[in-house]
Amino acid sequence: MDFKEIVDFISKIEFFNDLDTAELKQLSDKMIVQNYNSGIYLFKENKNRQSVFILYAGDVELVKKTPQSEQKRLAYFSMGEIIGEGAFVDDSPHSTSARTVTACTVLTLSKVDIDEVFKQNPALGLKISMRLAKVISKRMRSSNTRFVTLGTQYLSGAMRQEHDLLGEKDVPNEVNYGIQTLRALENFDITGVPLSFYPDLVKAFAMVKKAAALANHELGLLDDDLASAIDDACAAIINGRYHKCFVVDMIQGGAGTSTNMNANEVIANVALQNLGFKRGEYEHCHPNNHVNLSQSTNDAYPTAVKIALVIRNKKLVRYLMDLIAAFRVKANEFAHIIKMGRTQLQDAVPMTLGQAFEAAATTLEEEIERLTQNSNLFLEVNMGATAIGTGINSDPDYTRLVIGHLREVTGLDILGARNLVEATQDTSAFIMYSSALKRLSIKLSKISNDLRLLSSGPRAGFNEINLPAVQPGSSIMPGKVNPVIPEVVNQIAFKVIGNDLTVSLAAEAGQLELNVMEPVIVQSLFESLEMLMNGMETLRSRCIVGITANEQRCKELVMNSIGLVTALVPLLGYEVSTQVAKEALERNCSVYELVLEKNLLTKDELDNFLKPENMLKPRKMIRK
């Protein structure tokens, strides 16, 4: 790329459109053309700003590390967009990382060169600073209204006019959605959580629309160019682009129509650009006539939701398996530590701390099969049902073809429902899966209760284990550390249990050929999934892996426990053992001491019988 090409290119970027030719040349003269392969970081979170990057070709994602050390995508940038523009004003650390998604050509302007140019031309520095202030203001406005994608840096103020059943409305030129999405934004500012918060749901909608376009093309209902443009738009969404265009609130009236139309409009407008047209020129690619061809919200929406839940469940199971593995590590680590088992919070019989942790691992392991079985119910979909299951406005061969394409696009063993009328109104698969999530959450909550009890104290409680100290526990009591991680898992469980009730009530509220309450079912399930995944990872990484045992404390509690007498019943009999327990309580002495004092057993006999290997598993009984 030569100098003239650089000047021509940046002169068309809105950020620089108020610079004169001399100023453009000053900046262009310092720009370096660099090529990057995919997966390369332009800059990293917490590193000082060193350059401004202008994308000439390719795609870049803006990501941020979560508390669970995962990279969460915040925005997507393409040709003509600027990244790291804060370097124009200072060298403060980046709050995010920028990583190439595809091979990229980037114009780079270093902080050193920026300072030199601004020193030579203070007026240019002032112009850039004022422009940057406007960009920040517009980004904040965009964030507050949720109208544009985070990848759209500049709002020109230009509008396009669209129309629907209720009339006409102005839509910002930069956005890829249309009038029906705009109405949904106005009508349903409910949770503040847009569809884009759940990337798997957005991808699943693109998969459904892609499969539909392929089926309609095969039937001759979409020509090659149109089908290809829709296919490419869906593929881009599946690969992670345009997610921030899915702005409709998760809870909405209309049985999911707003969500379906958000997808239709975004795909249509991206397809229009693929075809060389402008957004909103729907005569060439229409959200309803082309993207929604042979479909209804009533089959596209639940099908996409079910695909997304299958995908999300696989991730949930991976988090669950990691948590199980952490419990197993501790079970092995604590296998030799004798502790007192308890029933009804009273002393019972001895066990090992390892057995307690292995029990937690095993009970959670059972949930893998339950979750998988119930998520498999989602593989049966009603695609091809259209409005109520009769298949009106679809070709007789459409259902067979679209199911085949869905299997190919998703890689899942998707099946068409046997009775589409029944499948369109039935929400029982959601009930079953929600119940499995509730069961898992109840187990996690019980385990969290146990961890809180076993770590209670440290001086006035059980104090058998130590949970990692992750934050000070009190604003008034010095030195206090609370079991905050198990506590938050308890609260997650309460929310999941409540969401399960919401799913049950919403499923019951269905009437005749459709259940219009599906959006709240969907929101409840995805919220439960998100909280459980985050909660299990937090429990694993911030609690379980760092637990230590107070071995001496565990042993002392066993030796001083009245429950120890149960292990001696085979030798002494129930009546004698009862008298020993009663006297030990009255005299406030240990069973061990009392048995020796009364010469009921020799020390060797007692020590042999109270060995861990003799107390922790069945053994041959002696007939009395």
| 289 alpha-carbon distance from chain centroid | 33
Residue 32: CB atoms within 10 Å: 12
Q: Give the whole-angstrom CA distance, residue 183 versus residue 195.
A: 15
3-state SS, one letter per residue, for 10-30? HHCCHHHCCCCHHHHHHHHCC
CB 106 within 8 A of CB 36: yes
Q: Among this protein's residues, is 143 annotated catalytic?
A: no
- 122-145 vs 111-120: helix crossing angle, rounded to 10: 120
Q: Which of these is catalytic: 142, 435, 474, 504? A: 474
119's enclosing H/E stretch is: helix 111-120
Both structure tokens of 526 = 């995805």
Q: What DSSP assignment string belongs to 470-532?
A: -S---SSSTT----HHHHHHHHHHHHHHHHHHHHHHHHHT-BTTB-TTHHHHHHHHHHHHHHH
| In contact, 18 and 131? CB cutoff 8 Å | yes
Alpha-carbon distances, residue 68 vs 60, 241, 417, 525, 541 (angstroms): 23, 23, 39, 21, 8
Contact 234, 206 (CB under 8 A): yes
Burial of 378 (C-beta count, 10 Å sphere; 0-12/13-18/19+) = buried
Residues 6+ apart with CB under 8 A from 411: none
Neighbouring C-beta atoms of residue 226, cutoff 10 Å: 22
Going by C-alpha positions, the residue among 147, 150, 175, 165 that lies closest to residue 280 is 175
- What is the C-alpha separation between 268 and 280, in angstroms, rounded? 8
Nearest to 147 by CA among 168, 172, 169: 172
Q: Identify the CA nearest to 121 among candidates 1, 51, 29.
A: 29
Tokens of 279: 């957004």
Q: Which amino acid is at 197?
A: F
Helix pair 297-333, 199-218: axis angle to 10 deg = 140
Tokens of 48: 């000082």
Closest CA to 480 of 450, 460, 451, 454: 460
Residue 548 bridge partners (DSSP): 466
Helices 21-28 & 111-120 angle (0-180, nearest 10) = 150
Rg of the chain, C-alpha, whole Å: 32
Cα–Cα distance, 429 to 290 (Å, whole number): 30
Tokens of 214: 């392929």
User: Is residue 207 within 8 Å of residue 227, measured between CB atoms?
Assistant: no
Query: Catalytic residues, which ones?
Result: 474
